[in-house]
Structure 1
Amino acid sequence: MPGTNLTRDEAQERARLLTVDSYDIELDLSGAQEGGTFRSVTTVRFDAREPGASFIDLVAPTVHEAVLNGEALDPGEVFADSRIALPSLLAGRNELKVVADCAYTNTGEGLHRFVDPVDQQAYLYTQFEVPDARRVFASFEQPDLKATFQFTVTAPEGWTVISNSPTPQPSDVKDHVWRFAPTPRISSYITALIAGPYHSVHSSWEGEGRSVPLAIYCRPSLAEFLDSDAIFAVTRQGFDWFQEKFDYPYPFAKYDQLFVPEFNAGAMENAGAVTIRDQYVFRSKVTDAAYESRAETILHELAHMWFGDLVTMEWWNDLWLNESFATYTSIACQAHAPGSRWPQAWTSFANQMKTWAYRQDQLPSTHPIMAEIRDLDDVLVNFDGITYAKGASVLKQLVAYVGMDEFFQGVQTYFRRHEWGNTRLSDLLDALEETSGRDLTAWSKAWLETAGINVLRPEIETDASGTIASFMVRQEAPALPTGAKGEPTLRPHRIAIGLYDLDGGTLVRTDRIELDVDGELTKVEALAGRKRPAVVLLNDDDLSYAKVRLDAESLATVTQHLGDFTESLPRALCWASAWDMTRDGELATRDYLSLVLSGITKESDIGVVQTLHRQVKLALDLYAAPSWRETGLARWTEATLQQLRAAAPGSDHQLAWARAFAATARTPEQLDLLAGLLDGTETVDGLAVDTELRWALLERLAAMGRADEEAIAAELKRDATSAGERHAATARAARPTAGAKAAAWAQAVESDKLPNAVQESVISGFVQTDQRELLAPYTTKYFDALKGIWESRSYEMAQQIAIGLYPTLQVSQETLDATDAWLRTSEDASAALRRLVTESRAGVERALKAQAADAAAAS
């Protein structure tokens, strides 16, 4: 990836010199069915504050023309390293025309081209964040050089073309040329083009005396599964809630949601034309947790139409604010909007998003929420748990600190003041200070400009009668991980303390106290003189961002009654605390397994249940003492089968337990059951063995040597779709033979022909936790190939390999030594690559410590 970087200093200098007025972009996609390249013609009009030189960005195989102010530039002289040099700008108005051949991609970056095996038709979509509009047209590729964009697209007959502006009526399309009206002033990275014979459903949102056209698109092969009514319902809920909270009209002329194939992320907030991974069009039965996750994604992208698209960060160091705001408001909408299907959304947030944040914040790469972004390489690896989940957690804390009404009043001021412009964090904080009356300077410095996580512990003294004599909250700031920058920091926290007692076998909250915690010790006078409850839960309602520990008496009660909380959020907070203790080696894996097995049968929240499934399997695979691991896995697998048989027929819990069992079945009898469910000779009352569950069963059978190429090919024939092709790639790579592993390695590492989604599937199948010995020789191969992969592949493709094929399962000092040796001899490697390797190394180091703690628990 040489020659594609851009530094913040370069961007600042370009923004100082230039303001951009408009882009006219003509794309000829008439040859898209065959692939290769497409003709791109860009005319950009911009002003220079003074005569000088600058550059425009373009990633393209060929530049045919570059004409600046009527003067032809020699492409051979001015085009290099993804830039066209502009050597002689005029003060005032300038016009540049660039004619180039740009390339279709299969990496999910730029203009991605996908051929559906069902109808053999090509489907295109763009993905431009962070710096990939330049793969489709010449652009000043930075968020603060906003402009209007007018697209003219020539497409094959029978296609539909969608962009940020309203789609032309068919009567307006002459000679297969689609002419779009100019957009408002937006950043290049949120422009979009989606083209192909897509299926569509149309509706509208009515409100505030206005009708906004809504549309949903997907490939025709998925149309039978598109539950458009449910998607429109969530979308309208978001429009209603955001219009009320933001008090600013929806800023674009229409709102399209396009479910597109082989998408790398969850979704992308292109202005008025949101792209979403089409795995969210569910082909088979899924649990309600999947619908909740999809709804959060839909609401997240809708929130971006205001925060991110209408008002945009000046530079990528405020990426966190963009993503955190969308995350916070999407969860808040689910939790608080009238008639919401998911009022327990903060439970899901606590159990999934925040555990991601806690994990990220304990890596050597931890960084302040407001990260130092020196260049594009920095931002590409910063789409992480701190940017999204920690940032959203801190915004939730900020809302508790200033008040929800005051928070949204500040947001309203921010939108009106900065509409269609670019901002910094200080602009939002200024607005919030005005509406709340709070001075946020110290808060911002402590929370946004420092790295690391705090731990909150209760210190309770009682008298002989069980009355609380003294209650203190102790705050700790553990040392940052080795290699991390910064110093441990004690922070101000707004928390609630929940008091719980047993009532008829259930844990019921009897009182709640909300207060500010600051410094090392905070005395809680309000609890003195009260009878000590069975459980004291710090950070009840999950207002703040901190690791929470229980006192000994509370822990003893929770260990016996974790599933007995009447509300889902306190259960989730206790589950998350137990998981964090397991990762930290404070709770042995075998004890974590016992805790889960004692409480999970009482857990009603399906999202929490599925999270526990993943965490138990991860703990057993990585954190259990090797000598006990198989015992723990056997116990867990038996429990999954028992719960599968006991679950209500047709329920979400039944499906979740079926998938958990399929992921870990190991004995001949258990594998026989999988095979029987697959061929229909075995049944479980109410369990629909549909397309996706069939693949889950087959992939496990393949990994255990019970399904060969013939069986995989037969299943692919049954499901001859792109999803089927991905599953088949996973199953083939999962087979426990040296030949299967060599073939998968050759596909993903030694060749660069796989599309992004298929490469990801091959990697997923290659890494099997039951095949450590078979995979051991690939540690050396990984480090030998890594740098070359990074330098020759696109970022997304190289990152898949760097993370996915790191020898995570080889939990040993030898793996740490091999990693350290690579880091020593690869000091010239990209900082982004070194960060990914260092993060993976930290996972092995943590696993070694957890395994030692688990072994010690047995002695």
Structure 2
Amino acid sequence: MPGMNLTRAEASERANLLNVDSYEVSLDLTRGERIFTSKTTVRFTATAGASTFIDAVTDSVRSINLNGVELDPAEHSDGIRIQLPNLGAQNVLVIDADALYMNTGEGLHRFVDPVDQEVYLYSQFEVADCRRMFAVFEQPDLKATFQFSVTAPRYWNVVSNAPTPEPIENGDSATWDFAATQRISCYITALIAGPYQVARDSLVSSSGRTVELGVFARASMMQYLDVENIVTITRQGFEFYEKNFGAPYPFEKYDQLFVPEFNAGAMENAGAVTFLEEYVFRSRPTGAMVERRAITILHELAHMWFGDLVTMKWWNDLWLNESFAEFMSTLAAAQNTEFTSAWTTFNTLEKNWAYRQDQLPSTHPIVAEINDLEDVEVNFDGITYAKGASVLRQLVAFVGQEEFMAGVREYFAKHAWSNTELPDLLRELEAASGRDLSGWGAAWLETAGVNTLKAEMATDDDGVITSFAIRQSAISEYPTLRQHRLAVGFYSLDDAGVLKRVHREELDIDGELTEVPALTGQARPDLVLLNDDDLTYAKIRLDEVSLATATEHLKDFEDSLPRTLVWSAAWDSVRDAEAPASTYVQLLLNNIGHEVDSTVIMVLLRQLNTSLDLYVAAEHSEELSVQAAASLWKLAVEAEAGSDAQLQFVKAFAHRSRTAEQLDQVQSLFDGSVALDGLTVDTDLRWSFTIALSAGGRMSEATLDSVLANDDTANGKASWYTARASRPTAEAKEEAFAAATSATLSNDQQSAVISGFNNVHHNELISGYTEKYFGLLINAWESFSHEMAKQIVLGFYPSSNVSQITLEQTDAFLESLGSKHAAMRRLLVESRADVVRALAARQADA
């Protein structure tokens, strides 16, 4: 939306003019399905005589009263900002307005449950969308107290940051007058309202205070909520963080709410965390999903200290906010929950994301230059989360975990309830560890790009190592060579054929070549693994002998993390067009059946799809795709009955089914004429089969409607949208494209339609939409909200048309765009880079 941006310069100027004391926000949610009343009273100090503005995205403004003076809304409000002239030293501002409900997952989102026709509301404010619910000085460094008064139907549950008070009833409605919050940033305030159901528990904080816990979901989803598991992870997180942070939980209560049509994994609203509803498992989940939910719970809980208690001054430190929570959630999972292999998951999921992001043309230093809100929106990326967390892991290896935590404890003690910048944390880590971090910070945080590490060694005739060195390289565009704290692992096969670590050497390396004299005189092992234990952030390459061992004995590693490091090295080689994708496909299919880590299986199956759809040479991609589907079916049949692997292989087989015989097999699973021992075709698996059959031309509209009739829920409707859009007809694709680029769908529905549009066996069915896509982009970007526009830009980009023509069409559009819409430009540049990489991979595979 034009005018929605806010620059860092504007925010800095406003912060220099004023300090905010408090907000009192009165909301009336009983006025229908389109608008709600939002009345805000703000008390703040300012430079007398100065002028500024307050953010307020409104449908209409009834009145503006500044220090007893009525300001004309027509003159002072443009629907996005309200201008405030001639401020006093002490100010009271009262704004009475109507605001709009959203269906995009931003602001105050309104959802109607098709099961019971009940209305469910929730807020999502990061980066700058609390201005869609109430008037606010929308920037993180203007902290204040917030007191909400909410009028809603009396049978609703109403949740905010403060504990929910007893409502005052008035006929069919009631009013909840919440107490004021602590002094917090506006983007972590929250409102969740509707007939949500709740399970309650409590725990005793390290301070001796009882903290009430609430776990919420829609009434139609509550039966599927495994509260015990969620509360257990929450308790373990509280225990770990309070001990390591040296500070008790800072808020009065802790509610966790699973909400529909959410755009992210979760949001760290103070004391009222919202989660993606897909974490409520209607059907049997994979172990990967259960672990992902646990990590997400721990991630958001870490934010209660790092982000909510102590908050970044401006969004350039967004990376630190998210990276810290990402690192701490994995550490907590590995050290204080059942998910002891969390660092394996981190490598395969997070680091692969980081390596991809860091090799795009849009890569940037971890400490990114954030000039305005548009910069923030596109920096929720693999650098901000995954690379940042990886570099924090390297920092902990560099200074020591105990020293790191000691610095963090001092940081929280000094800066509670205030705003900070990166140097504030680094000073405490330097003091606790005795390490000078100035050079470390410059190399790791202020430069972009990923290094590559290779071992160089010589042996004598008896196989004894006579010299060993580690060579570090970087690409010319990002030539920084960094200091790495890492381990070198030696692995050899034992008499039982198990690949075990026989030696580990931890050391610092720096520069282009680092000699490792401690390894001379040792027998050369079967496999040398650089970055053993995954302490640093770098791509690794295996020497010839180690690669041969890994290829033959990948399944024989005793532990999951070194095996996953080898998987990652193999995948990097394919993405970098150093190894043929077809060979990787065969390696994957020959070894994935021996994997026991659910997340590793999930990621490998994603990489299989990417390889077959984008990286395998066109002349044999169809044949290899058919063979891969056959292998997946064989893997599913041979998998342990009822195992996680069996479930994942069946879903992957259905998705990749191409031939009539394979689709017949899916049909047999769908109708129950064929069954696999231990496999239950539950609601979500049935939808997976439905979508696969629809893409294969096996589902009529009437059949799809009948499947929906058996699951007429929000989740079912989203799957129905995907299945309809998956039909392999020109009419279905035209319908899908029109629907997703109109303003008629919610964020979840739009995403589901786009997924189905791209679900094709033959790319020719959708390759003709490129010109239409580029023709509507500017209008879509300017008229849709950020999340909806982003889904259109990324979802309809012709990534599957791996050709020079796609690059030329993209370049022509970018040239015509000029300097406008930098955020959209970045999304297109990244999408274009994926096509460039796919072209190189196909050439290597040919």
Would you call these one fold, judging by a TM-score over 0.5? yes
The C-alpha deviation readout for 1:699-721, integer Å capped at 9, x for no partner, is 01001101111111011000010
- Counterpart contact for 1:787–1:829, Cα < 8 Å: no
Alignment of 1:610 with 2:607, yes or no, is no
The equivalent of 1:202 in structure 2 is: 200
Counterparts of residues 47-62 of structure 1 (less than 5 Å): 47-62=45-60
The equivalent of 2:817 in structure 1 is: 826
Which residue identity is paired with 2:73? P
Q: Distance in 2 between matches of 1:57 and 1:809?
A: 41
The C-alpha deviation readout for 1:145-173, integer Å capped at 9, x for no partner, is 00000000000131111000000135789
Q: Distance in 2 between matches of 1:367 and 1:294?
A: 29
The C-alpha deviation readout for 1:764-810, integer Å capped at 9, x for no partner, is 00002413101011011110011110000000000000001100000
Alignment of 1:285 with 2:284, yes or no, is yes
SS at match of 2:110: strand
The equivalent of 1:654 in structure 2 is: 646
Aligned match for 1:631, one of 623, 636, 646: 623
The equivalent of 2:587 in structure 1 is: 595
The equivalent of 2:23 in structure 1 is: 23
- Counterpart contact for 2:23–2:146, Cα < 8 Å: yes
The equivalent of 1:484 in structure 2 is: none
The equivalent of 2:672 in structure 1 is: 680
- Counterpart contact for 2:154–2:169, Cα < 8 Å: no
SS at match of 1:612: helix
SS at match of 1:80: coil
Q: Distance in 1 between matches of 2:779 and 2:761?
A: 29
Q: Distance in 1 between matches of 2:595 and 2:725?
A: 35
Counterparts of residues 458-607 of structure 1 (less than 5 Å): 458-480=455-477, 487-503=478-494, 504-607=496-599
Q: State, as a whole percentage, how many aligned pairs show the same letter.
A: 56
Alignment of 1:783 with 2:774, yes or no, is yes
SS at match of 2:366: coil
Q: Distance in 2 between matches of 1:145 and 1:68?
A: 19
The equivalent of 1:698 in structure 2 is: 690
The equivalent of 1:442 in structure 2 is: 439
- Counterpart contact for 2:167–2:175, Cα < 8 Å: no
Aligned-pair CA distance for 1:479? 2.7
Q: Distance in 1 between matches of 2:49 and 2:482?
A: 49
- Counterpart contact for 1:160–1:197, Cα < 8 Å: yes
Q: Distance in 1 between matches of 2:786 and 2:167?
A: 38
The C-alpha deviation readout for 1:782-839, integer Å capped at 9, x for no partner, is 1001111000000000000000110000000000000000001111430000000000
Q: Distance in 2 between matches of 1:536 and 1:598?
A: 22
- Counterpart contact for 2:695–2:760, Cα < 8 Å: no
Aligned-pair CA distance for 1:668? 1.2
Aligned CA RMSD, in angstroms, stands at: 1.0
Which residue identity is paired with 2:543? D
Aligned-pair CA distance for 1:93? 1.0
- Counterpart contact for 1:354–1:393, Cα < 8 Å: yes
Q: TM-score, normalised by structure 1?
A: 0.97
The equivalent of 1:745 in structure 2 is: 737
Which residue identity is paired with 1:662? A
Aligned-pair CA distance for 1:597? 2.2
The C-alpha deviation readout for 1:85-120, integer Å capped at 9, x for no partner, is 111111x21111111110000000000000000000
Q: Distance in 1 between matches of 2:628 and 2:606?
A: 12
The equivalent of 1:848 in structure 2 is: 839
The C-alpha deviation readout for 1:544-586, integer Å capped at 9, x for no partner, is 0000111111011101111111000001111011111111111
Q: Distance in 2 between matches of 1:763 and 1:98?
A: 40
SS at match of 1:47: strand
Aligned-pair CA distance for 1:51? 2.7
- Counterpart contact for 1:173–1:179, Cα < 8 Å: no
Aligned match for 1:105, one of 102, 105, 112: 102
Alignment of 1:269 with 2:260, yes or no, is no
Alignment of 1:756 with 2:742, yes or no, is no
Q: Distance in 1 between matches of 2:762 and 2:793?
A: 20
- Counterpart contact for 1:624–1:851, Cα < 8 Å: yes
Aligned-pair CA distance for 1:49? 3.5
Aligned-pair CA distance for 1:81? 6.0
- Counterpart contact for 1:621–1:769, Cα < 8 Å: no
SS at match of 1:629: helix
The equivalent of 2:229 in structure 1 is: 230
Q: Distance in 2 between matches of 1:651 and 1:707?
A: 29
Q: Distance in 2 between matches of 1:240 and 1:51?
A: 50
Q: Distance in 2 between matches of 1:123 and 1:571?
A: 45
SS at match of 1:585: coil
Q: Distance in 2 between matches of 1:518 and 1:711?
A: 63
Aligned-pair CA distance for 1:80? 2.0
Aligned-pair CA distance for 1:207? 3.5
Q: Distance in 1 between matches of 2:642 and 2:572?
A: 33
Alignment of 1:773 with 2:771, yes or no, is no
SS at match of 1:220: coil
The equivalent of 2:405 in structure 1 is: 408
Q: Distance in 1 between matches of 2:677 and 2:476?
A: 52
Q: Distance in 1 between matches of 2:212 and 2:800?
A: 50
Q: Distance in 1 between matches of 2:467 and 2:80?
A: 65
Alignment of 1:453 with 2:447, yes or no, is no
Alignment of 1:357 with 2:354, yes or no, is yes
Q: Distance in 1 between matches of 2:501 and 2:288?
A: 26
SS at match of 1:113: strand
The equivalent of 1:75 in structure 2 is: 73
The C-alpha deviation readout for 1:610-660, integer Å capped at 9, x for no partner, is 211110111110000000101211221111000111111111111111111
- Counterpart contact for 2:726–2:760, Cα < 8 Å: no
- Counterpart contact for 2:397–2:535, Cα < 8 Å: yes
Which residue identity is paired with 2:34? G
Q: Distance in 1 between matches of 2:760 and 2:708?
A: 24
- Counterpart contact for 1:60–1:103, Cα < 8 Å: yes
- Counterpart contact for 2:166–2:176, Cα < 8 Å: no
Alignment of 1:375 with 2:372, yes or no, is yes
Alignment of 1:315 with 2:311, yes or no, is no
Q: Distance in 1 between matches of 2:170 and 2:597?
A: 50
Which residue identity is paired with 1:573? L
Which residue identity is paired with 1:274? V
Aligned-pair CA distance for 1:667? 1.5
- Counterpart contact for 1:585–1:849, Cα < 8 Å: yes
Q: Distance in 2 between matches of 1:287 and 1:278?
A: 16
Aligned-pair CA distance for 1:478? 1.1
The equivalent of 1:483 in structure 2 is: none
Aligned match for 1:37, one of 35, 38, 43: 35
Q: Distance in 2 between matches of 1:807 and 1:98?
A: 46
The equivalent of 2:326 in structure 1 is: 327
Aligned-pair CA distance for 1:603? 1.5
Q: Distance in 2 between matches of 1:837 and 1:589?
A: 25
Q: Distance in 1 between matches of 2:837 and 2:203?
A: 49
In the comparison of the two structures, how many residue pairs are matched? 843
Q: TM-score, normalised by structure 2?
A: 0.99
Aligned match for 1:96, one of 89, 93, 116: 93
- Counterpart contact for 2:168–2:175, Cα < 8 Å: no
SS at match of 1:401: helix
SS at match of 1:44: strand
**Structure 2 residue ranges without an equivalent (≥5):** none
**Cα separation, partners in 2 of 1:739 and 1:769, compared to 1, 3 Å:** closer
- Counterpart contact for 1:106–1:112, Cα < 8 Å: yes
Q: Which moved more, 1:309-318 or 1:589-598?
A: 589-598
- Counterpart contact for 1:190–1:269, Cα < 8 Å: yes
Which residue identity is paired with 1:352? L
**Cα separation, partners in 2 of 1:173 and 1:463, compared to 1, 3 Å:** farther
Q: Distance in 2 between matches of 1:604 and 1:173?
A: 57
Aligned-pair CA distance for 1:365? 0.4
The equivalent of 1:7 in structure 2 is: 7
- Counterpart contact for 1:561–1:599, Cα < 8 Å: no
